[in-house]
Amino acid sequence: MTTGATALTGPVQTTGELLGVKRVGAHHHVTLVAPGVAERFRPGTFVALRVGGPLSERVTRASYPIHRVRATGAYGGTVEVVLTVTEADAAARWLAAAPAGSALDVVGPLGRPYALPKEPVTCVLVGEGAASAPLFSLAERLRERGCPVHMLLGGRTEAHLFGALEARRATRGVTVATEDGSVGIAGSVADLLPDLLARTGADVVYAGGSTATLHAVAAAAEQHGAWSQAMLCGGDVAMPCGTGLCHGCAVPVVGEDGVTRMVRACTEGPVFRGDRVRWGDLGRVPEDAR
């Protein structure tokens, strides 16, 4: 069952199928058959999945940024997401353990994608752990536009890095950082970014990671006079429905008019201009918010 407009825009709701789950270091790489989603995909959009199977008592959805899509192939359109299983995340636990062939309802692609530059400007893509996943499709699109792309990937340990090998194959410059120094430079991506920005003279920074990391990335970009685009899905902003219905994922964002509004990360985002998000007030409702 597929719904949606005939034009290839906006989300569709479809009964998908779990094609396979691959362990990648500390993460799980999940491939879903989800007809209709791939054709509408743009880097930075996400899928909202109904997890737990037919007997689940779970009411909400779980949202993950799309890593990659394949529009055609032996199985029809597929969508790939990358997740990290934690004790608190029952949805990720289920997805990681679900047998191939499991049916699950998929809604997507949802949200506003990463904004692409009109000119072939230099871009730095910063990713932390599994939140790096959406940056690879983005890198492809940027290269198609003639943008020089540098990637900065980080993680707690080598196992927590995602896509470092693929990045090396695909882009001009890759910098890898681990907090324990097990591979690459010892430190966080936030530590290394200012130097990379200075070295590359990047005009735009695209980021995925924890809100603390995104905050640091946005600050570094601003200091270097670069635009930043931060992804709030797949990090630590909860999205109960993913479709804009529940108003559960509201974050304080400053508008063009200078007014702070609580906006839904799923519909106004998940990608925001880094200089627009009131990072220090995430989780709160600022006094002056409307």
Partner 1 sequence: MSDVDLTTALAGLTLASPVMTAAGCGGTGRELEPFLDLTALGGFTTRTITLDPRPGAPAPRVIDTPGSVLANTGLQNPGLQGFLATELPWLAQRRVVTVVSISAGTLGEYGELARRVGSSPGVAAVEVNLGGPSHDGAATAFGADPYQAGKVVHVVRRDVPRGVPVLAKPAPGAPAVDMARALAGNGADAVVLGAGCPGLAFDPDTLRPALGGGTGVTSGPAVLGQALRTVWEVHAALPEIPLVGAGGVRSGFDVVQMLLAGATAVQVGTALLGDPSAVRRITAELCAELECRDLASPADLIGLGHLPPATERDPA
What's the closest the beta carbon of residue 75 comes to partner 1, in angstroms? Answer: 24
**Applying CB under 8 A, does 232 fall inside the site for partner 1?**
no
- Segment near partner 1 (CB under 8 A); pick from 139-147, 226-234, 237-245, 271-279: 237-245
- Answer yes or no: are the C-beta atoms of 44 and 134 closer than 8 Å: yes
Residues in 34-73 that interact with partner 1 by CB under 8 A: 50, 57-61
- Return the number of the residue (198 or 259) whose C-beta is nearest partner 1: 259
- Return the number of the residue (101 or 283) whose C-beta is nearest partner 1: 283
Residue 56 amino acid letter: S
Among 53, 187, 245, 280, contact with partner 1 (rule: CB under 8 A): 245
What's the closest the beta carbon of residue 23 comes to partner 1, in angstroms? Answer: 26
Those residues with Cβ within 8 angstroms of residue 234's Cβ, 6 or more apart along the chain or in another chain: 46, 63, 64, 65, 83, 130, 131, 133, 134, 208, 270
Among 103, 121, 267, 278, contact with partner 1 (rule: CB under 8 A): 267
Is the backbone of residue 263 left (phi > 0), alpha (psi -120 to 50) or beta? beta
Q: How many residues bind partner 1 (CB under 8 A)?
A: 39
**Applying CB under 8 A, does 211 fall inside the site for partner 1?**
no
C-alpha to C-alpha distance for 252 and 232, rounded to whole angstroms: 12
Work out the burial of residue 169: count CB atoms within 10 Å of its CB; fewer than 13 is exposed, 13-18 middle, 19 or more buried. Answer: exposed
Site string for partner 1, 246-265 (x = CB under 8 A): xxxxxx---------xx---
CA atoms within 13 A on the CB side of 274: 27
- Return the number of the residue (105 or 222) whose C-beta is nearest partner 1: 105
The pair of structure tokens assigned to 104 is 């699950």
C-alpha to C-alpha distance for 239 and 230, rounded to whole angstroms: 16
* Residues of the shown chain interacting with partner 1 in the complex, contacts defined by CB under 8 A: 3-5, 10-13, 50, 57-61, 90, 105, 107, 237-238, 240-241, 243-251, 261-262, 267, 282-286, 289-290
